[in-house]
Amino acid sequence: MDTGQVMNIWRTLIAFLMATLATFVSGSVFYTQQVVSEQISIGADYTLGQQAAALMMNLKGLAPAYGGVMMLALLIGFLIAARLKRVLTPLAPVAYPIAGATAVVAAIWLIDNTAGRGGVGAIGGARDAVGMGLQSFAGLVGGVVFAALRGRGA
């Protein structure tokens, strides 16, 4: 393996880790705000400091499970996208963002229909269309980060 190949592997790995981090952080922010918004709608009162504290707790608490699931989902999505973009060349520029968004939705659907036992909304911040859309957007953000950091040869 030559130096260029080693650098390509490292660039891909770093891009993947940053994409996972971007998806996890943005998804956690959306998750927290969705849950807080629902609680406010039934009369709860949150200060900005309490919302920030809830976000910090969610970043820490969601990291192992939600972060791990998002990492696996993005890995599968990006591997599929890497193959498909060679065949569907007009879609190549948006392959990773679409894969990221789709992977997150698929992962949440699988969680809801296995751990959640059939659509009870195991992921609190994705129990409605807005929440699911925001989680999908988090995956899209991760895909954009991956594509940008990985470069054209990905």
What pLDDT, in 10s, does the model give residues 127-144?
A: 788 889 999 999 999 999
The alpha carbons of the chain give a radius of gyration, in whole angstroms, of 17
Given a contact cutoff of 8 angstroms between Cβ atoms, the answer to whether 128 and 134 are in contact is no
The residue range of the domain holding 97 is: 3-150
| Pick from 19-33, 90-104, 108-122: least confident | 108-122
Band the pLDDT of 117: cuts 50, 70, 90. low
The total number of structural domains that make up the chain: 1
Nearest to 146 by CA among 29, 24, 26, 22: 22
Query: Taking 80 as the threshold, does the pLDDT of residue 150 lie above it?
Result: yes
Instruction: Identify whether the C-beta of residue 135 lies closer than 8 Å to the C-beta of residue 27.
Output: yes
Strand residues in the chain grouped as ranges (E): none
pLDDT class for 118, splitting at 50, 70, 90? low
Task: Decide: residue 59, CB within 10 A, 0-12 exposed, 13-18 middle, 19+ buried.
Answer: middle
Rounded to the nearest integer, the mean pLDDT of the chain is 89
